[in-house]
Amino acid sequence: MSGLQNGPLNDRTVHLCIDMQRIFSTEGPWPTPWMERVLPTVVRIVERFPERTVFTRFITPERPEDMPGTWRQYYERWRQTTREYLDPRMLDLMPPLGQFVPPATVIDKPVYSAFAGHKLADFLRERGADTLVVTGSETDVCVLATVLGAVDHGYRVVIAADGLCSSSDEGHDSLLALYSKRFSQQIETADTETILSAWER
């Protein structure tokens, strides 16, 4: 038994690692205090198949007026995170992850969902992917938006529960419960050991 509801993972599985960047680490302006705690877990999943890993990066605008609607208000509040002021190194992947690029792929995005625009969807289609193993930051923001996008696109979604982090413990716990209960037909939630034991090829 693989331990996963829908059976083992195959060579059409892609690891989608969301926004594990320095801007969300304890040194950044949007700290996710336990990113460092889940980082070794994420590294273990990347190590299995780095060539099947996609890292997304949340890229802030140069200035607030470059964004539409409420995003402009958002960046007026968080002006220090715009690229006009931000140290560009804050947008880099966390150092242990950057070493896997290449063969891992990096796809940048300006909003929460990695499925906004066409880059990720095109990439996955070209790879013939049908399943996504999801890790990253934050459980209740960019991961949430991306996971729902993946469901909308019809992908099998497997969430590594111990490979996610958030700045809100309450939000993290609530979303893990939501993923496993409300979306149980389309989203599987498992720990890394279970995922890696089911992903041998």
Strand partners, 131: 13, 156
pTM of the model: 0.94
Tell whether 86 is covered by a domain: no
Buried residues in 126-164 as b, exposed as e (16+ CB within 10 A): eeebebbbbbbbbbbbbbbbbbbbbbeeebbbbbbbbbb
Specify the CATH number for the domain of residue 143.
3.40.50.850
Name the residue with tokens 């996610």.
Answer: 164
Domain contains 81: no
Range of the domain at 28: 13-60+93-197
CA distance 201 to 13: 9
The pLDDT profile of the chain, 201 residues, written as one tens digit per residue, is 347 888 999 999 999 999 999 999 999 999 998 899 999 999 999 999 999 999 999 999 999 999 999 999 999 999 999 999 999 999 999 999 999 999 999 999 999 999 998 999 999 999 999 999 999 998 889 999 999 999 999 999 999 999 999 887 777 778 788 887 877 788 999 999 999 999 987
And the tokens for 106?
């990096």
Maximal C-alpha separation, the chain: 53
